[in-house]
Each structure stands twice: as C-alpha cells, then as structure tokens.
Structure 1
Amino acid sequence: MANNTSKMSKEEQLDWYDRTHKNWRSWGSWFSWGSPVGLGLFFIAVCFCIWLLGQTFGWN
C-alpha cells in the first residue's frame, strides 16, 4: 500500500509528516548524544562490555 503524498496539500503533507514522525522524534530526544539519558546509557553499555570482556578473558 503506497502512500501518495503528491495529492495532498502542503498543510496536509506537513500534518502527515508530523503524525508519522512524532514518536521517533520523542525517542530520539531521550536517546540522543546530547541527552543525559542517552549519553548515560551509552557509558553504562560501554562499561558493561568492558566488564564482560574482563570476566571472559580474566583481565585484572
């Protein structure tokens, strides 16, 4: 099912774009590099990977 936006007016196209991308923008704002939440999760994931490698290979 193709979405034909060429038959929509400019205002309808903007409304459609806002409705279809609204949820992705909200996720992006929380998990982006500029967000403390996203940056914190990134560092936690890196630390976990380093810890896991250390446990696996016996690094001291």
Structure 2
Amino acid sequence: MPRVRFLTSVAGATFSARPGEVLDLPADEARVWADGQRAELVREAPMERTTRRARMERS
C-alpha cells in the first residue's frame, strides 16, 4: 500500500485526515488523493544525501 501525506484537511463519511498526516491507502485511492494539491506520495526510503565530509574529500 502506498503512503500518502496530506497537505490539506479532508473529510468524508468514513474518512478524515489533517495536514501532515501520513496514511497507507490502496493504490487506486492513493493515485486520486496524491495530486500535489490535497496530498503527495511519501517515498519509502529517505533520499540519500552527500555529507559535507565526503564533498571535502573529493576536492
């Protein structure tokens, strides 16, 4: 199941989410909500970042 982070408050008859809340949703629902306005997909693994030390060693 994809993870979705909500950017705005949304609510329905059996569903609600606040800004910043992360929920696991079925793939078809996640595609509908993750439109960049109401929600966004959450990456499974954090992005790898170059450390300052590694950049200095290359110089």
* TM-score, length of structure 2 as denominator length: 0.25
Q: Whose helix proportion is higher, 1 or 2?
A: 1
Q: Whose strand proportion is higher, 1 or 2?
A: 2
